[in-house]
């Protein structure tokens, strides 16, 4: 007989036909009916080997009724009936000589045909039809059982493949903490062999106390519990979930334990929480030699992993440089978290930076909270105005940089973190070190690579490009035509000292666009005068010049102090001899705003 490619389910059919129950039933039917019984598939091919059947009558049968004719007969039988318990005569044979029975094996229309060839010496009353019907019923049960078992095996294999390839670690833990299943991810995280661990207890494969024990007694699981494990063999930081599996009596028979590494959780959270840098080196506008030197140094720093200190006055664009360094580094796909050290309340600054354990202080979150350094794991932390950190916090920050781990408030266990530090300061840290207001060891730890960003008054050749950039942006944003800037106005801009640096020129251009209706910009001297309030104005008002109200005098004094302190609020408060909260309240009352961050959507130094 010719060999053909059979249906994938043929293996299941042949497995059922090879069972001892089927062979015994066929021998019994053949003996009682004195007939040779065998099976054909829908294409007319013998499913049981010819050698197993072994009868001389088969040669004559297949010579007179080859596979092609049997296949045609099978199709006709399929169309003319529902395929169950149908007995019909084979062509060229008397019904008493050869009979067939069609059997449907599943809902897809597959057929198996039982064929009985009456032997030459069969008695007259030995008819094979009843035995074919009996064999059909037997084969029906066998085949359905075989296909159900094959489907079950396939389902188990599919579920096993899913479990072994999900991103989370998964263990099934039976009573007595016996491991019933461990997937490959769980084996990698815990450092155990999934195969050899099956059948062992948890205490035999790990060196720390499992926390799923109470679940067998209480029947209550948990979801997304933070778990910090610090044992001699492993240090793990996991997000853990344990779900009890109960029987009909309500008893816990096993626990399904899933967990994932906290680093992966932070990475996913950072991706959707917006902890990323927007600016690149293409965002830096200007072609002056001083700016090019700073950009070249920053690009070289981006290729390494050393800590960077950005120095420069307020508003020169230190955060833009920090984001550009991050985006040009190997950590570009990881979180970028900016922290304004001057804006953090002293009582909460340590908690914000390093996190706190559950119930570590009054008002603390019940489940604890990770700090900024944990959230930035794998990425970059930008510490703006690092000079404003209190001395005690400086010491803890130094330990984080040296040990590369943080310890939450109220906890004793260290949590490993991998972060790169970029610091920024508008004050002279070296002078602060001499004055003992900044730790010398922290200064050297932060100042591995120092990049100084020159103020705008020292790179006046960049002013025209910046003015044109901001003018085009704000005209586009406000849906206004872009006006022309006269040469006289450009010279006025270049002559200005710009104490607020890039932030001030952006503010000025935005103000111009608000009042401009498309006409040519010829003179900006009036706006430059209003934008820069000199301290002399306050002095003349107090020396017999044009009188002003006390409210106006206070506003002038605050603006003058801000300029004198280069817009550092802490220094400004000291100059005015008021507290920082009081100064913020006065600034709010007078409508004085200082934008420490970078405006949403900006693409330029601020």
The contacts found for 341-349 with CB under 8 angstroms, 24 or more apart, are 341/383, 341/384, 341/385, 341/386, 341/387, 341/388, 341/389, 342/384, 342/385, 342/388, 342/568, 342/569, 342/570, 342/596, 343/596, 346/390, 349/389, 349/390, 349/393
The contacts found for 6-11 with CB under 8 angstroms, 24 or more apart, are 6/41, 6/45, 7/41, 7/110, 9/106, 9/110, 9/147, 9/150, 10/41, 10/47
What is the pLDDT, as a whole number, of residue 329?
Answer: 92
Instruction: Work out whether strand 235-246 and strand 252-261 pair parallel, antiparallel, or are unpaired.
Output: antiparallel
Instruction: Calculate Rg over the CA atoms of the chain.
Output: 42
In angstroms, the CA 160 to CA 163 distance is: 5
What is the pLDDT, as a whole number, of residue 309?
Answer: 94
Distances from the Cα of 557 to the Cα of 38, 544, 587, angstroms: 109, 16, 11
Architecture of the domain whose range is 10-151: 2-Layer Sandwich (3.30)
* Mean pLDDT score, 57-72: 64
HEC states along 260-288? EEHHHHHHHHHHHHCCCCCCCHHHCCCCC
| pLDDT tens column, 287-324 | 899 999 999 999 999 998 899 999 988 888 899 999 99
| pLDDT tens column, 530-541 | 444 434 334 444
| pLDDT tens column, 190-225 | 888 888 888 898 888 888 878 888 898 888 998 888
Cβ pair 376, 422 in contact under 8 A? no
Please enumerate in sequence order all residues whose Cβ is within 8 A of that of 79, keeping only pairs 6 or more positions apart, or say none. none
Domain with CATH 3.40.50.300 in the chain: 274-454
**234 CB neighbour count, 10 Å cutoff:** 14
What is the pLDDT, as a whole number, of residue 531?
Answer: 47
**539 CB neighbour count, 10 Å cutoff:** 12
Of the candidates 595, 604, 278, 316, the residue with the CA atom closest to the CA atom of residue 467: 604
Confidence of residue 497 (pLDDT cuts 50, 70, 90): confident
Domain with CATH 3.30.450.20 in the chain: 167-268
In angstroms, the CA 74 to CA 543 distance is: 117
Lay out the sheet containing 179-182: strands in order across.
179-182, 169-174, 252-261, 235-246, 222-230
Biggest alpha carbon distance in the chain?
143
Report the share of the chain in percent with pLDDT over 70: 75
Higher pLDDT, 454 or 105: 454
H or E segment and range at residue 601? none
Of the candidates 330, 335, 331, 328, the residue with the CA atom closest to the CA atom of residue 295: 328
Confidence of residue 60 (pLDDT cuts 50, 70, 90): low
Instruction: Work out whether strand 336-340 and strand 84-89 pair parallel, antiparallel, or are unpaired.
Output: unpaired
Instruction: Work out whether strand 84-89 and strand 380-384 pair parallel, antiparallel, or are unpaired.
Output: unpaired
pLDDT at 30 over 90: no
Instruction: Work out whether strand 179-182 and strand 35-41 pair parallel, antiparallel, or are unpaired.
Output: unpaired
Q: Give the range among 141-150, 224-233, 446-455 with minimum mean pLDDT.
A: 141-150
Higher pLDDT, 75 or 140: 140
What is the pLDDT, as a whole number, of residue 102?
Answer: 61
What is the pLDDT, as a whole number, of residue 2?
Answer: 29
What is the pLDDT, as a whole number, of residue 6?
Answer: 39
In angstroms, the CA 94 to CA 258 distance is: 68
pLDDT at 86 over 80: no
Tokens of 580: 């920082």
Tokens of 298: 């920053």
Q: Which CATH class is domain 167-268?
A: alpha beta
87: helix, strand or coil: strand
* Pick among 3.10.20.30, 3.60.21.10, 1.10.8.60, 3.30.70.270: CATH of 460-590: 1.10.8.60
Give the phi and the psi of residue 142 in degrees, each rounded to 5: -60, -45
Residue owning tokens 């084969």: 139
| pLDDT tens column, 445-493 | 989 999 999 999 899 999 999 999 999 999 989 888 888 888 998 998 9
Report the share of the chain in percent with pLDDT over 90: 14
Burial of 59 (0-12, 13-18, 19+ CB in 10 A): exposed
Give the phi and the psi of residue 421 in degrees, each rounded to 5: -105, 125
pLDDT at 606 over 50: no
Distances from the Cα of 472 to the Cα of 163, 476, 494, 506, 595, angstroms: 55, 6, 18, 11, 21
| pLDDT tens column, 545-574 | 456 677 778 888 888 888 877 788 888 888
How far from the centroid of its chain's Cα atoms is residue 374's Cα?
Answer: 15
In angstroms, the CA 184 to CA 246 distance is: 25
Domain with CATH 1.10.8.60 in the chain: 460-590
pLDDT at 239 over 80: yes
Q: Which CATH class is domain 274-454?
A: alpha beta
pLDDT at 93 over 70: no
Q: Give the range among 28-37, 86-95, 223-232, 419-428 with minimum mean pLDDT.
A: 86-95
Tokens of 269: 């959270």
Of the candidates 211, 245, 213, the residue with the CA atom closest to the CA atom of residue 228: 211
Top mean pLDDT of 153-162, 250-259, 560-569 is at 250-259
**152 CB neighbour count, 10 Å cutoff:** 10
Give the phi and the psi of residue 589 in degrees, each rounded to 5: -65, -35
């Amino acid at each position: 007989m010719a060999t053909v490619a059979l249906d994938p389910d043929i293996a299941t059919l042949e497995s059922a036909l090879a069972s001892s129950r089927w062979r015994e039933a066929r021998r019994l039917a053949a003996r009682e009916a004195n007939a040779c019984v065998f099976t054909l598939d829908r294409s007319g091919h013998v499913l049981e080997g010819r050698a197993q059947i072994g009868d001389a009558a088969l040669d004559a049968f297949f010579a007179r009724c080859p596979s092609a004719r049997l296949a045609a007969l099978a199709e006709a039988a399929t169309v003319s009936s529902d395929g169950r318990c149908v007995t019909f005569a084979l062509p060229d044979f008397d019904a008493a000589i050869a009979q067939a029975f069609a059997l449907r094996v599943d809902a897809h229309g597959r057929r198996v045909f039982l064929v009985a060839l009456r032997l030459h010496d069969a008695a007259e009353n030995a008819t094979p039809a009843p035995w074919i019907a009996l064999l059909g019923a037997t084969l029906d049960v066998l085949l359905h059982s075989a296909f159900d078992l094959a489907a079950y095996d396939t389902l188990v294999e599919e579920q096993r493949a899913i479990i072994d390839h999900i991103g989370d670690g998964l263990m099934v833990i039976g009573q007595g903490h016996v491991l019933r299943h461990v997937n490959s991810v769980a084996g990698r995280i815990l450092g155990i062999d999934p195969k050899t661990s099956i059948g062992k207890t948890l205490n035999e494969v790990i060196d720390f106390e499992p926390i799923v024990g109470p679940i067998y007694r209480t029947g209550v699981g948990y979801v997304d519990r933070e778990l910090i494990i610090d044992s001699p063999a492993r240090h793990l930081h996991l997000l853990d979930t344990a779900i009890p599996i109960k029987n009909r009596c309500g008893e816990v028979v096993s626990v399904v334990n899933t967990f994932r590494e906290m680093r992966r959780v932070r990475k996913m959270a950072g991706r959707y929480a917006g902890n990323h840098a927007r600016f690149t080196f293409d965002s830096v506008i200007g072609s002056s030699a001083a700016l090019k030197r700073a950009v070249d140094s920053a690009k070289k720093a981006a290729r390494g992993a050393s800590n960077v200190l950005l120095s420069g006055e307020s508003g020169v664009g230190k955060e833009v440089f920090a984001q550009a360094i991050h985006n040009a580094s190997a950590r570009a796909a990881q979180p970028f978290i900016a922290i304004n050290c001057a804006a953090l309340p002293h009582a909460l600054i340590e908690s914000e930076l390093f996190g706190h354990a559950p119930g570590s202080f009054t008002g603390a979150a019940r489940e604890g909270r990770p700090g900024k350094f944990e959230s930035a794991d794998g990425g970059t932390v930008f510490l703006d105005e690092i000079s404003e950190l209190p001395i005690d916090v400086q010491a803890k920050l130094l330990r984080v940089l040296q040990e590369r781990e943080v310890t939450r408030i109220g906890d004793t266990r260290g949590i490993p973190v991998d972060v790169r530090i970029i610091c920024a300061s508008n004050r002279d840290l070296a002078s602060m070190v001499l004055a003992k207001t900044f730790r010398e060891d922290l200064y050297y730890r932060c100042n591995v690579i120092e990049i100084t960003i020159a103020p705008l008054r020292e790179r006046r050749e960049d002013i025209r490009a910046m003015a044109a950039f901001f003018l085009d942006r704000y005209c586009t944003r406000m849906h206004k035509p872009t006006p022309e800037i006269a040469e006289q106005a450009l010279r006025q801009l270049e002559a200005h000292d710009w104490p607020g640096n890039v932030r001030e020129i952006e503010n000025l251009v935005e103000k111009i666009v608000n009042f401009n209706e498309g006409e040519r910009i010829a003179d900006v001297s009036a706006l430059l005068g209003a934008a820069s309030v000199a301290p002399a104005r306050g002095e003349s008002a107090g020396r017999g010049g044009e009188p002003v109200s006390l409210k106006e005098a206070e506003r002038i004094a605050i603006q003058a102090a801000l300029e004198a302190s280069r817009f550092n609020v802490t220094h400004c408060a000291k100059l005015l001899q008021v507290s920082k909260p009081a100064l913020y309240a006065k600034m709010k009352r007078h409508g004085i705003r200082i934008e420490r961050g970078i405006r949403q959507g900006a693409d330029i130094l601020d």
